[in-house]
Amino acid sequence: MKKVLVMCTGNSCRSIIGEALINAKLDGVEAYSCGVAPSGKVNPNAKKVLEQNGIWRDEYHSKDLDEVIDIPFDLVVTVCDHAHETCPMFPRPIKKIHVGFEDPDGKEFVAFEATYAEIEEVLLPKVTAALKDN
């Protein structure tokens, strides 16, 4: 089982959606998420779009890197520029890719649906390709 970490700043929208989509759609891959400055909560619209698509899990929550740092990840994906620029060092070398998405936080629910669709269309193939190259 390959392990992927999806990082953004607040770990309330994009990285949670990415984590859920990878877990739901990519066989043989287990995803986690965290934030470089976690908000401590999942955005209600992010949760709603995941529930609407049948892939919400109660264990999804906003968390700090410290909560997942000891997991032996095969790939780290940053989904916002801030996380990309401040991506911390890991205990061992890990392949990293950056795939930026606009933050839907503070916008209407339709923005979350668009972010979900974009992450599914853009992120999943890039994660699959990066893991094959690993």
Positions marked active-site? 8, 80, 87
Cα separations in angstroms, 45 against 48, 64, 73, 114, 121:
5, 21, 28, 12, 19
Determine what percent of the chain falls in helix, strand and coil, rounding each to the nearest 5. 40, 15, 45
Q: Which residue type, as a one-letter code, is found at position 70?
A: D
3 state DSSP class of 33: strand
What whole-number distance in Å separates Cα of residue 38 and Cα of residue 7?
A: 10
By CB neighbour count within 10 A (0-12 exposed, 13-18 middle, 19+ buried), where does 104 fall? buried
